[in-house]
Amino acid sequence: MEDTDKLNRIIEARMKLKSRFEEKMKLTPSVSDDAPKGSGELNRHGMPVIPIGQTATVKWPVLDLGYQPDIPLDRWRLTVNGAVENPVVLTWKDFMALPQTKDTSDFHCVTTWSKLNMHWKGVSLLDLAALVHPHEDATHIMCYGYDTYTTNISLEEALKPDVLLVHTFDGQPLAKEHGGPARMITPQLYAWKGAKWIKRIEFLTEDKLGFWEDRGYSNTAYPWRNDRYSD
Ligand SMILES: Nc1nc2c(c(=O)[nH]1)N[C@H]1C(S)=C(S)[C@@H](COP(=O)(O)O)O[C@H]1N2
Ligand SMILES: [Mo]
């Protein structure tokens, strides 16, 4: 009974958040650009499957800061806090008890490879946000990895339904080298916006720059605009 109530509260909050960000989301470049740059068929949000300057790869390269943290599940915690009504610290069990989403999406790395049709399972950021109730003036999130990595995302991008905190890839636990136990994915933005080994998500009332955004990468990271570096 209590679980049903909890789920219903998440569903209601999710619907409210969706309607709050719907219009802004429709105006984001990966949905609204009428001359998106790229090649191939159109994907589900109307953009060419291969963004400009990208090449499809079968392999899955690994990118990190030279250190891959090892987080046993019994010590794993995910903190979601900042400009929210209901900050939480989730254990692995709490995290796995949240609504689970399966999705197939593409992964575009700024170093020009794209990996298509990746099969994921995890918790949508929208559902996590619905759990913590962002304040009305929240505009962005900062994501923190166990390796000290950080990356920032606007809420109209982060709350898109394909932005997930994934723990499963192709039916298997996400490998440590790719950010396991859990990482974020941002299929409509370059992949550096998806923090591996995710540890904390902080809701912000103004934008702040993450690790690469502070080192010359674009703050917005739109693949179909070739938006790789800040000028
Ligand atoms: N915690 C953490 N997350 C990270 C990174 C990192 O160094 N640390 N690198 C980013 C970059 S630049 C990319 S392209 C993707 C790479 O993910 P992959 O190694 O699974 O291909 O993760 C992103 N997330
Ligand atoms: Mo990257």
Query: Tens digit of pLDDT per residue, the chain (231 long)?
Result: 578 998 999 999 999 999 999 999 999 999 999 999 999 999 999 999 999 999 999 999 999 999 999 999 999 999 999 999 999 999 999 999 999 999 999 999 999 999 999 999 999 999 999 999 999 999 999 999 999 999 999 999 999 999 999 999 999 999 999 999 999 999 999 999 999 999 999 999 999 999 999 999 999 999 999 999 997
Q: How far is CA 150 from CA 5, 113, 120, 137, 163, in A?
A: 34, 22, 22, 22, 16
The residue nearest atom 24 of ligand 1, judged by CA position, is: 195
**174 CB less than 6 Å from ligand 1?**
no
Residue 195 near ligand 1, beta carbon < 6 Å: yes
Report the DSSP beta bridge partners of residue 165: 123, 184
In Å, how far from its chain's centre is CA 104?
A: 14
* CA 138/CA 204 separation, integer angstroms: 5
Please tell me if the CB atom of residue 178 comes closer than 6 angstroms to any atom of ligand 1.
Answer: yes
- Between the CA of 178 and the centroid of ligand 1 the distance, in Å, is 7
Mutate to test the pocket of ligand 1, among 60, 64, 143, 169 (most ligand atoms within 8 A of CB): 64
Domains annotated for the chain, with CATH where assigned, are 2-225 (3.90.420.10)
Ligand 2 mean position, distance from CA 108 (Å) = 9
pTM across the whole model: 0.98
